[in-house]
Amino acid sequence: MTLIEAKDRRKSRAGNIALWVLQVVAAAWFLIAAAGKFAGAEPAASTFEAIGWGDWFRTLIGALEVAGAVALFVPVLAGLAGMAFAGLMAGAVVTEAFVSGGSVVMPLALLVVSAIIAWGRRDSIVRLWALVTRR
C-alpha cells in the first residue's frame, strides 16, 4: 500500500466515523422529538394545530421520525433516511417560519445534519436503488 492509499484509507475511516456520530445524534434527536409528538407535548401540539391538520398528522410525523431514526442504523437505508429527514426538516423550516412563527434554528440545523448524512451515505442510496430495480 502506498502512502497516498494509506492517507486516503485513514481519511475514509475518519469520515465514516464522523457520519456514524452524526447518525447517532440525529437518531436520538428525532426519537426525542417523536416522543414529544406522541405525548402531545408543547410546542408540537400547538404547531400541528396551527397547521390545521391536528393530531393525526402529528402522530404520522412522529411515526416517520421513529422509522427514520431506526433506518439511520441500517447501513443500506442510512442515506435514504438522511434524504427523507432533509425533506421533512425543509417542511419544518417552512412551517416554523411561515405558520407557527417559531424559531427555525433547530429544524435548519437538523436539515443540514440530515443533508450531510444523505450526501455522505449516497453510496447506500445507489446500492438500495440497484437492489430495488435489480440493476
Domain ranges of the chain: 11-133
For the chain, give the DSSP string: --HHHHHHHHHHHHHHHHHHHHHHHHHHHHHHHHHHHHHT-TTHHHHHHHHT-HHHHHHHHHHHHHHHHHHTTSTTTHHHHHHHHHHHHHHHHHHIIIII----HHHHHHHHHHHHHHHHTHHHHHHHHHHHHT-
Of the two residues 49 and 58, the one the predictor is more confident about is 58
pLDDT in the model for residue 100:
82
pLDDT in the model for residue 63:
97
Of the two residues 109 and 52, the one the predictor is more confident about is 109
Residue 87 host element (H or E): helix 78-95
pLDDT in the model for residue 8:
57
Query: Mean pLDDT, to the nearest integer, of 114-132?
Result: 95
